[in-house]
Amino acid sequence: MSTLASHSKKSGLMDWLTTVDHKKIGILYLVAGGLFFIIGGIEAMFMRIQLFKPENDFVSADMFNQLLTMHGTTMIFFAAMPLIFAFMNAVVPLQIGARDVAFPFVNALGFWLFFFGGVMLNASWLLGGAPDAGWTGYAPLSTTSLGSGVDFYVLGLQISGAGTLIGGINFLVTIINMRAPGMSFMRMPLFTWTSFVTSGLILFAFPPLTIGLFMLMFERVFDANFFNPDNGGNILIWEHIFWIFGHPEVYILILPSFGAISEVVSTFSKKRLFGYSAMVFATVLIGFLGFMVWVHHMFTAGLGPIANSIFAVATMAIAVPTGVKIFNWLFTMWGGKIVFSTAMLWAVGFIPTFVMGGVTGVMLAIPSADYQFHDSYFVVAHFHYVIVGGVVLGLFAGLYYWYPRMFNRVLNETLGKIHFWTFFIGFHLTFFPQHFLGLMGMPRRVFTYLSGQDLDDLNLISTVGALLMAVGTIVLFINVIISTSKKYAPSEDPWNGRTLEWAIPFPTPEYNFAQTPLVRGLDPFWLEKMAGNKKMTPAEPVGDIHMPNGSILPLFMSIGLFVAAFGAIYKSILVGVIGLAITFLCMFLRSVIDDHGYHIHKKEVEEDMKEGRS
C-alpha cells in the first residue's frame, strides 16, 4: 500500500462543508431537516392562528395560499425526506457492518442538492412571494400563477429531487454490496430493510416527478403546451404524473418510520421482532402496491367507474400488509419486558394513531364516499394522521433511540416525556376535530369561514392543539441544548441494543468498525451478548483501513445548479450558463482528478482498540 495514511484533519466549518462521512452527513441532514421542520411548523401556526375564529384577518387570502403551499412542500420534501435520510445515513451502514456507504462523494452531493433546493424554495419568500398553487401544483393553477413563486417551487424541487434520487441509488448499492460477512438479506434489521425498499421506491418514483417538473417549467418559461387545453394540452397529465410520483412518496416517507418503530419496539420489549419474515414481506408488498394506487387521489377527476373501482380495490389491499405490521408490533410487545423509555412511548403512541389514519384511508378509498370527502378537512385530518401520526411520531421514536449514536449524548428522559405528551395530545387535539369539520363541509385550502355554521368551536380546539404541538417542539429543543452537557454522555450500550450499531463504542470511530464483524444471525449483537461475548466476533484481522477523502466539489456542484435556477427564473441566459458552467466544471474536475482516498494505518487502529475507542 503506497497511499500514505497521514491525512490532515480539516478544521470546523471546512470539515462540515467537505465531509463525505455518512455519520456527519446524517447530522447535516438532521440539522437542515430540523431547520425546515421549524419553518414549515411556523407556517402551520400562522394558518391555525388565521383559522382560530371565523372571518379572521390575521393573514390575507393570498398569503394563506402561499402559507399552505409552502407548509406542504416544505414538510414533505424538506423536513420529512431529509429527516429520513438523516437516520438512513446515521444508521444503515452501521446496521449492516459497513465502513461507509457505497458512494461517499455522491452521498455528500445528495445532501447539498437537497439543501440548496430547500434554500431555493424558501428564497421565494424574499423575492416577490412564495408559490401559491398548493404542494400538488395542479395545472392550470400552477401554469398560470402570477409572479415567480411557482418557478421557485419547480426549480427547488428539481434540484432537491436530483439529490434524493442519487441518495436512493446510493443506499440500494450500499445495502446490496456492502453487508458484513454473514449479514444475509433475511438477517438485516428491519430499519435497513425499510430503507432498502424506500430507496427502491425513490429510484422509480422520482423520475416521473423530474419529468413533471420539467414540463411545468417548460410551460412557464418556454410557453410549452402540455397542460394548455387551448393548444391541445391536457391538464390531467399533470395530475397523473404528480400522483404516480406522489403516492409512492408517502410510502417512501412511512416505511423508514415503520423500520424505526420495529427497532424500538423490539429493543424495549427485549424480544426479537415478532414475525420478522412477515414484516419483511409486508414491507416489500407495501412498496410494490404503492405504485398501483395513485388514481385514488383523482377519484373526482372523472376517469370513470372502472378505473376508480380498480384503484379503490388496490388501495384497500394495502391495508392488509399494513395490518400485518400493526399486529406484529403488538405481538412483539406481548409478553415482553417492556421499558417505557421516551423512544418506546413514541412507538406505542404511534400504533393507535397510525391505525386511525389507516382507517380514514380505507374510508377515502371508497370512490363514492370520496366524492363527499374530497377537498374537505376530512382529507386534511387523514393525511396528517398518517404523516404526523405515522411518519413524525416514528421519526421522534428514532430520534430518541439513535440520538446517542449520532451525537454521543442521551436526551433527557423527563423532558422527552413532556415532549411526547404535549406533542401527542396536541396532535390529536389539532387533527381529530378536523375529521368532523370536513364532514360538516369545511373545504380545505380556504383562508376563512363564516360564523354560524358550527365550525367555530372545533376550529378553536384545533388551533389550541397546534399551540400544544409547538410547545412540545420547543421542549425538544431545550432538551437538545441541555444534552450538550457532559453529564449526558451515554453509558456503554445504553438501550441494551440488539443490532450492530450498538456494538461499537461512543463516540463512533470514523471508520465505524475496527474489524468488520461476523454476523451469526438476526439481532447479531444480542446473539453475541447471549453467548457471553462483550463484543462482536471479528470477520477479519486488524489491518489498514481505506477511507475516502473529503471534497468541496459536491457543495460547488449544488451551488452551480442553484445559480443556474435563478437564471431560469429571471430568464437570464448569462446567469444560467454561469451556473451550469460551475456544475459541469466541478463534474469535470471530479472526473479527471484521481482521488484514491487514504489509509488509516493498522497501528492507529490497534491503538484505538487498546484504549477502548474502537
- Applying CB under 8 A, the residues found at the interface with another protein are 2, 102-103, 165, 169-170, 172-173, 176-178, 203-204, 206-208, 210-212, 214-215, 218, 222-226, 228, 231-234, 237, 241, 244, 588, 591-592, 594, 596
Cell 446524517, located at residue: 26
Comparison of 414 and 591: residue with beta carbon closer to another protein: 591
- The minimum distance between CB 215 and another protein, in angstroms, equals 7
Comparison of 270 and 596: residue with beta carbon closer to another protein: 596
- The minimum distance between CB 296 and another protein, in angstroms, equals 19
- The minimum distance between CB 537 and another protein, in angstroms, equals 22
- The minimum distance between CB 224 and another protein, in angstroms, equals 4
- The minimum distance between CB 221 and another protein, in angstroms, equals 11
DSSP assignment string, 155-214? HHHHHHHHHHHHHHHHHHHHHHH-PPTT--GGGS-HHHHHHHHHHHHHHHHHHHHHHHHH
Comparison of 207 and 507: residue with beta carbon closer to another protein: 207
Comparison of 340 and 584: residue with beta carbon closer to another protein: 584
Comparison of 8 and 591: residue with beta carbon closer to another protein: 591
Strand partners for 545? 600
Among 411, 193, 172, 403, CA closest to 284: 193
Q: Kindly list the distances between the CA atom of residue 416 and the CA atoms of 29, 350, 398, 408, 494, in Å, as whole numbers in the listed order.
A: 21, 15, 13, 17, 16
Comparison of 218 and 511: residue with beta carbon closer to another protein: 218
Cα–Cα distance, 212 to 244 (Å, whole number)? 10
- The minimum distance between CB 165 and another protein, in angstroms, equals 6
Strand partners for 600? 545
Cell 455519520, located at residue: 23
> What is the DSSP pairing of strand 598-600 with strand 545-547?
antiparallel
CB atoms within 10 A of CB 93: 29
Cα–Cα distance, 531 to 511 (Å, whole number)? 26
Angle at 472 between CA 466 and CA 474, to 5 degrees: 105
Comparison of 225 and 300: residue with beta carbon closer to another protein: 225
Alpha helices in 365-441 (DSSP H): 367-373, 377-386, 393-407, 413-439
Comparison of 466 and 557: residue with beta carbon closer to another protein: 557
- The minimum distance between CB 101 and another protein, in angstroms, equals 9
Cα–Cα distance, 95 to 262 (Å, whole number)? 14
- The minimum distance between CB 481 and another protein, in angstroms, equals 39
CA 114 to chain centre: 12
Which set of grid coordinates corresponds to residue 87?
Answer: 437516520
